Amino acid sequence: MDMRIAVLDFDSCQPKKCSLECVKYCPGVRIGDETIKLGEGKEKPVISEELCTGCGICVKKCPFKAVAIIGLPDELREDMVHHYGENAFRLFRLPYPQKNSVTGLIGQNGIGKTTIVRVLSGEIIPNFGDVDGCDEDNVLEYFSGTQFFEYFKDLYNKKIKAVHKPQYVDSLPRVVKGQVGKLLEKADERGMLDSITEKLELEYTLKRDISKISGGELQRVAIAASILRAGDIYIFDEPSSYLDVRQRLNVAKIIRELAEEKRVLVVEHDLVVLDYMADHVNMMYGQVGAYGIVSHPRTVKQGINVYLKGYLKEENIRFRPEPIRFEVRAPSEGWQNETLLEFGDLRKGYRGFELDVEGGRINKGEVIGALGPNATGKTTFVKMLAGIIKPDSGEIGMEIKVSYKPQYIKTKSEKTVLELFKSHKGFDSPFFQAEISRPLDLEQLFNHSLQELSGGELQRVAIASCLGREADIYLLDEPSAYLDVEQRLNVARMIRRVMEKQGTTGIIVDHDILFTDYISDRIMVFSGVPGARGRSTAPLELKEAMNTFLKDVGITFRRDPETGRPRVNKLGSQKDKEQKLKGEYYYQV
């Protein structure tokens, strides 16, 4: 017998607009069971999971897609760790952060990773399905005889301290005020301020106010503040966001050093960084917003490969219809020889910063990636093409329509997502609905206000808004930020398909190498001294560009033979030395 759960998205449910069609058509109403009813003092319906037969009529009748009825294996009932309330999200199982190692957590957004972080840090007490709540004694009784017993006993008795680096670092200036150096001095409980500042390259940031620094600097300051605090378990939620490739690998190295003496749990969507950093991983699967299940731990290589394949052999669970595989691609066909735009050598100077870009051409129907350190001019180049700023010298061959998605997405609009898209000329077209809206799963967001969207949801809306405008070139700055692994790969596939079908061009600035490798036909490589000067190549073929970029960063890549995904060779390893000797920094199978 399956355990049946009912989930109601209270944000989407609008009973006044639909006259509770779900209640009217529920068979329970006709036989007097009142399966769906308005709870006492509640404006929105409640579904009785004991009386629900799972017919699915309410799911079909709801115009806002707010209802889900899901059958789960009955044995999972014993593994329920936390339940947020009637018809709300459930979490099954927990990962165990092992001593002296990095435990990675991988899964979709909205599948329970933040709940796990809050449980393991002591921010919330798990209720094991009892919505009336549990206390610390109930938790210890539940975990009696397991490895979690000692962990939670020490956590609740203040014998171990959890330190948590939050996901959304761009909100820090709203809650923390002052000079970066003074803030880090207050956080320095381990006497490591000078060492950590040097390792994270924050020397020139210390004298600046936290409200005046970039997203990448905010991320490194948040990581530094976490490491400087005296803790026993350190939890890093998406530590790579806003960092360039070199900074990401540097942070991974620092976190690995921390794990030599502490427990470390990392939530990370950049698979290259996770592979480089973690010792083992726990995957999460289930249904977004409804329930999440934590898999058993696996080695990092095996765990990532299993996640991409979408099949847990030992648990006999398939959570993705088709495996994700990375192929060595030939250049895109059809449009590739038709030039859209040519530009000469471009130069742009600001006070204290200069950018030089080698002239080149851009073809119709292709996707061009842009790789390089932060503050070397990628966004400046994008803005020159978009006509937002003018180059000091050099010309762009023709006037073109450009649609631009910026790196930092902020909105104060009270519009709903649907109202935003209805202002777009082509919103109702079959192409937008089939090729953009559906792959980005936007329908579930239509009735939500832009102000209440999460970082990942706002990112998907911004990408769709950019691609929904009529243009010759679509410039997307950091489209992978705040997206989970599946969303990143779906976005990459969707962007490629849109460019090829429309005969338009995409230029993608992103620091996730796996994402860039997956999406790009050619790549522009940026280098220089961050914040002082930058230079860029013309668009180069994939292998030449990656070799140029990785040589500058000083790392080598190989392909995983099972999935074809890029993996970083350990610095100084035999394979690393061998590839550097050959000058082959990019991909060896």
Tell me whether residue 547 is in a domain: yes
Tell me whether residue 406 is in a domain: yes
Which amino acid, residue 223?
I
Average pLDDT over residues 114-123: 93
Is pLDDT above 50 for 493? Answer: yes
Average pLDDT over residues 354-375: 91
Count how many domains the chain has: 3
Tell me whether residue 500 is in a domain: yes
Q: For all residues of the chain together, what is the average pLDDT?
A: 88
> Does 579 lie in the same domain as 456?
no
Tell me whether residue 535 is in a domain: yes
Domain boundary among the residues 72, 95, 115 is at 72
> Does 514 lie in the same domain as 370?
yes
Q: Please write the tens of the pLDDT for every residue from 503-517.
A: 899 999 999 988 998
Is pLDDT above 90 for 532? Answer: no
Pair of tokens at residue 233: 């378990």
Q: Please write the tens of the pLDDT for every residue from 407-442.
A: 888 787 888 898 888 887 778 889 999 999 999 999
Confidence of residue 55 (pLDDT cuts 50, 70, 90): confident
pLDDT for 140? 96
> Does 488 lie in the same domain as 415?
yes
Question: Contact 226/164 with Cβ under 8 angstroms?
Answer: yes
Give residue 33's domain range.
3-72
Average pLDDT over residues 314-318: 80
> Does 351 lie in the same domain as 492?
yes
Is pLDDT above 90 for 132? Answer: no
Confidence of residue 589 (pLDDT cuts 50, 70, 90): very low
pLDDT for 31? 59
3-state helix, strand and coil shares in percent for the chain, rounded to the nearest 5: 35, 20, 45
> Does 585 lie in the same domain as 517?
no
Domain boundary among the residues 33, 56, 72 is at 72
Confidence of residue 334 (pLDDT cuts 50, 70, 90): very low
> Does 524 lie in the same domain as 581?
no
Which residue, 504, 443, 447, is CA-closest to 473?
504
Between 286 and 63, the more confident residue is 286
What pairs with residue 525 in β-bridges? 371
pLDDT for 329? 56
Ranges assigned E (strand) in 138-279 = 162-165, 233-237, 263-267
Tell me whether residue 584 is in a domain: yes
pLDDT for 331? 47
Confidence of residue 103 (pLDDT cuts 50, 70, 90): very high
> Does 445 lie in the same domain as 568?
no
pLDDT for 1? 44
Tell me whether residue 271 is in a domain: no
> Does 588 lie in the same domain as 448?
no
Domain boundary among the residues 50, 72, 94 is at 72
Is the C-alpha dihedral spanning 22, 23, 29, 30 positive or negative?
negative
Task: Please identify which residue in the block is written with the tokens 């192409």.
Answer: 431
pLDDT for 265? 97
pLDDT for 535? 95
Which residue, 275, 336, 315, is CA-closest to 505?
336
Task: Please identify which residue in the block is written with the tokens 């049946």.
Answer: 4
> Does 462 lie in the same domain as 406?
yes
What H or E segment, with its residue span, contains residue 501? helix 485-502
pLDDT for 29? 66
Between 584 and 428, the more confident residue is 584
> Does 560 lie in the same domain as 474?
no
Tell me whether residue 531 is in a domain: yes
> Does 411 lie in the same domain as 540?
yes
Tell me whether residue 135 is in a domain: no
pLDDT for 406? 87
Q: Please write the tens of the pLDDT for every residue from 455-483.
A: 889 999 999 999 999 999 999 989 998 89
